[in-house]
Structure 1
């Protein structure tokens, strides 16, 4: 198996999910006692959050590039970023290291292409829902995305940063996401893309009015595929 470097800490909840799922996927396909060879660097998200809030993306990029280089130097043969929004600086990472970096939106786009899903609504942080760095990757895989609704953007972004990233799960948040997904179906979406690693805490990916493409599970499956070669 190939050794994968994982840039985590964005949030720790997300990193925990990545570690667990990558190992579950590997164990299903490898020997029963197998576990994934991973190098994990869990960053202090407060520094990244402050830089992001100040729109200092050069600083965010520097933090992640430094992490990527440390993981490569430590023996990682490939890299994965355990977050959706931090793919904003994906290009800087690929320029800074000589090993592959598995892009989360490409993994989701390929899964949607295989499922012949051509229309979807994107749910995640404000950055992911509104900026082109993520949306354009999905569109490149033939997915037609509903335009972001400002009220939905604010509501989902608030739930993520004020609740989920702090480990809080409330019935109000679960109801809000269920209502949003139902409305997206009425707006013409054929599927939902959960483009935030914490959203699955309040969205039942198996029991909704629309098919749900969970970016975390899809990215972890792609990571396991890469590890196993």
Structure 2
């Protein structure tokens, strides 16, 4: 029998972005620890839950400074609470996250890094990127994939980006999974595969995997940023 309490690092979740994604992160983390350790073992976590209404308003108003100040107070609470590492439960919010974590006494695991490593391991060089408008239109994630992993990310067309973003904010963050929206996402992916030559798809919003996943297109690699992010955190938490 192991000595109790069993030693593992505490994973701090900067959550609420959205509550749906935060719940899935908690499930992924616990399932992954239990798969490794068995028995009744799960992850040790702290969750700082933000109000998604605040986040949506800051993003809608393009107020990244205001969003950063709001996020900083929650990051500080995770540090004070004893977290050993921080995960931001959102691709979108990684735009301010890097600067906010500079000089922090604990590390963060960047959501793009385990995804980039998984794409590179499959030998892919050009992939589609689905997510919110900031994720698809700004360079902060695209540049990281390119600079660190040599991966080109391609955004959908303007009309496609509008639909992808709308479905995220109006449906997925509320836990609504509609067949018409699933078909739209899969049609966009198929169109990009045919016309843009993409070799795979980054599910670059932490709720997208609930709508589409690998089973929907078995011969077209999909990369679930949420699951990959959590797996990397568990590897960190259980390391000596």
Q: Which residue of 1 aligns with 2:3?
A: none
Over 3 Å off, 4+ runs: none
Q: Which residue of 2 aligns with 1:193?
A: 202
Query: Residue 54 of structure 1: CA displacement?
Result: 1.2
SS in 2 for 1:28: helix
For residues 92-141 of structure 1, give each alpha carbon's deviation from its aligned partner in whole angstroms, at most 9, with x where no partner exists: 22125211011001121111112222110001111101111111111121
Q: Which residue of 1 aligns with 2:190?
A: 182
1:218 lines up with 2:228 in the alignment: yes
Counterpart among 68, 79, 92 of residue 72 in structure 1:
79
Q: Which residue of 1 aligns with 2:5?
A: none
Separation in 1, partners of 2:127, 2:98: 25
Counterpart among 210, 214, 232 of residue 205 in structure 1:
214
Query: Residue 147 of structure 1: CA displacement?
Result: 4.4
Separation in 2, partners of 1:149, 1:96: 38
Query: Residue 84 of structure 1: CA displacement?
Result: 0.8
Whether the 8 Å contact between 2:128 and 2:200 is mirrored in structure 1 is yes
Separation in 2, partners of 1:148, 1:182: 11
Separation in 1, partners of 2:98, 2:44: 25
Separation in 2, partners of 1:69, 1:146: 35
Whether the 8 Å contact between 2:156 and 2:188 is mirrored in structure 1 is no
TM, length-normalised to structure 2: 0.92
Whether the 8 Å contact between 2:126 and 2:152 is mirrored in structure 1 is yes
5+ residue gaps, structure 2? 1-7
Equivalences for residues 160-179 of structure 1 within 5 A: 160-179=168-187
Q: Which residue of 2 aligns with 1:227?
A: 237
1:50 lines up with 2:57 in the alignment: yes
Structure 1 window deviating more from structure 2 (141-150 vs 55-64): it is: 141-150
Over aligned residue pairs, what C-alpha RMSD do you find?
1.2
5+ residue gaps, structure 1? none
Whether the 8 Å contact between 1:120 and 1:144 is mirrored in structure 2 is yes
How many residues in Structure 1 have an aligned counterpart in Structure 2?
229
